[in-house]
């Protein structure tokens, strides 16, 4: 399956029908179909697997044509220019043979690249009415993150995660082991093509089982469903007859708010006692340097503690769309609009490369 993922992304003329086949392959994999069964299906289809016409050149290719071929192969693979030119020369300037040569040489080197830091990349999201899956695919440079093959792989991983078995949890974080073993083969092939360390780092699935919606927002999007920052929330209404379109509208706005404000907790009640005490100690030390009375210092501490909650607790935060109100008030207004109490079940924020040491 990994070879088909890469072949589909390369072949522009076969792109649309192959995309459909990949999606069906993902469904088959989730249901237990074998790779050989999918290969048989692919062979029996009408997809033109050659997709591109072979062009062969003599060693006396004009300089202008050489530069054009280097540019084309560089755009296809995002491989370093030095490697691109070397493969073209060794393959007598046959661009398709050179592309294949890059893959062969690259797979051998992929293991060596795996120790290099990969903190760039993209997030990809796939969702239906009740669930959303977000994955993070990393690379070393933003140049590779703009590559069509890399972007297509990221989107495919998100769709595969969504079509996999239901984890049975409302918020389910997962790593590479959660998906099929063929996924790592696909990631390795893309790493071979682009000449960088490429890693499927992590993902999570968010669900709602009640009468509600999963809402998402992606920031810095090269195309729909891809981005560098993601915010997700679930909104649920008590009344099963409450209109969900209003929840979707407000939910998307709150998801955007989450991306902008980076909340750490949903409500004040969920802030751990140790976090509150640690913040209070810091504020008390700061207040003591003011030289004011004990009573004045205690008021200072409590006032700054309320400010702390407004910064880290989602329901207490000022709404970025209208800072005269907070998220709790936004939900109260939404409840009045739909005629039923609306609650925010879960939220998540994800950013490419967060937590990765770039030293």
Encode pLDDT of 144-189 as tens digits: 999 999 999 999 999 999 998 777 889 999 998 888 767 888 898 8
- Cα angle 260-263-264, degrees, rounded to a multiple of 5: 150
User: Rg of the Cα trace of the chain?
Assistant: 25
- What is residue 1's predicted lDDT score, i.e. its pLDDT? 52
- What is residue 210's predicted lDDT score, i.e. its pLDDT? 83
- What is residue 106's predicted lDDT score, i.e. its pLDDT? 66
Q: Measured between alpha carbons, how far is 351 from 353 in angstroms, rounded to an integer?
A: 6
pLDDT tens by residue, 41-63: 434 444 343 333 334 334 568 88
Domain with CATH 3.30.479.20 in the chain: 120-271+313-351
Domain with CATH 1.10.8.10 in the chain: 63-114
Task: Note the pTM of the prediction, 2 decimals.
Answer: 0.70
Q: Measured between alpha carbons, how far is 337 from 347 in angstroms, rounded to an integer?
A: 22
Those residues of the chain that have pLDDT short of 70 are 1-60, 106-114, 181, 359
Buried b / exposed e over 29-53, threshold 16 CB at 10 Å, is: bbeeeebeebeeebeeeebeeebee
Q: Measured between alpha carbons, how far is 98 from 52 in angstroms, rounded to an integer?
A: 14
Would you report the helix, strand and coil content of the chain in percent, each value rounded to 5? 50, 20, 30
Packing angle, helices 2-10 and 15-31, rounded to 10? 160
Q: Measured between alpha carbons, how far is 85 from 101 in angstroms, rounded to an integer?
A: 11
Selected from 3.40.50.740, 1.10.8.10, 2.60.40.420, 2.30.42.10, the CATH number assigned to the domain covering 63-114 reads 1.10.8.10
- What is residue 112's predicted lDDT score, i.e. its pLDDT? 60
Phi, psi for residue 293 in degrees, rounded to 5: -70, 165
Q: Which residue has the tokens 């006692």?
A: 273
Fold of 120-271+313-351: Tetrahydropterin Synthase; Chain A (3.30.479)
């Amino acid at each position: 399956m990994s070879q088909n993922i890469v072949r589909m992304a390369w072949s522009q003329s076969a792109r649309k029908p192959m995309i459909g086949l990949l999606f069906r392959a993902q469904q088959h994999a989730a249901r237990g179909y074998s790779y050989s069964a999918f290969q048989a299906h692919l062979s029996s289809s009408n997809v033109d697997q050659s997709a591109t016409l072979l062009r062969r050149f003599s060693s006396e290719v004009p300089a202008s044509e050489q530069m054009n071929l280097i540019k084309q192969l560089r755009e296809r693979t995002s491989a370093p220019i030095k490697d691109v030119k070397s493969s073209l020369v060794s393959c007598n300037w046959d661009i398709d043979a050179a592309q294949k040569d890059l893959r062969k040489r690259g797979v051998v080197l992929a293991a060596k690249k795996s120790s290099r830091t990969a903190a760039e990349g993209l997030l990809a999201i796939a969702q239906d009415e009740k669930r959303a899956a977000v994955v993070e695919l990393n690379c070393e440079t933003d140049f590779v993150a703009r590559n069509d093959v890399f972007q297509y792989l990221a989107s495919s991983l998100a769709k595969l995660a969504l079509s996999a078995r239901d984890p049975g949890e409302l918020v389910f974080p997962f790593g590479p082991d959660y998906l099929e073993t063929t996924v790592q083969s696909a990631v390795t092939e893309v790493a071979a093509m682009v000449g960088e360390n490429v890693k499927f780092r992590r993902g999570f699935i968010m669900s709602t089982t009640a009468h509600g919606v999963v809402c998402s927002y992606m920031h810095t999007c090269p195309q729909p469903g891809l981005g560098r920052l993601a915010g997700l929330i679930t909104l649920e209404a008590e009344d099963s007859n409450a209109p969900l379109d209003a929840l979707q509208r407000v939910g998307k706005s709150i998801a955007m708010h989450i991306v902008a404000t980076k909340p750490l907790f949903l409500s004040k009640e969920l802030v751990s006692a140790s976090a509150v005490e640690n913040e209070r100690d810091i504020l008390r030390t700061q207040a003591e340097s003011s030289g004011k009375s004990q009573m004045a210092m205690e008021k200072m501490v409590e006032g700054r503690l309320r400010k702390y909650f407004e910064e880290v607790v989602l329901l207490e935060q000022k709404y970025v769309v209208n800072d005269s109100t907070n998220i709790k008030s936004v939900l109260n207004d939404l409840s009045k609009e739909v005629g039923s109490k609306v609650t925010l079940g879960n939220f998540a924020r994800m950013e490419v490369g967060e937590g990765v040491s770039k030293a």
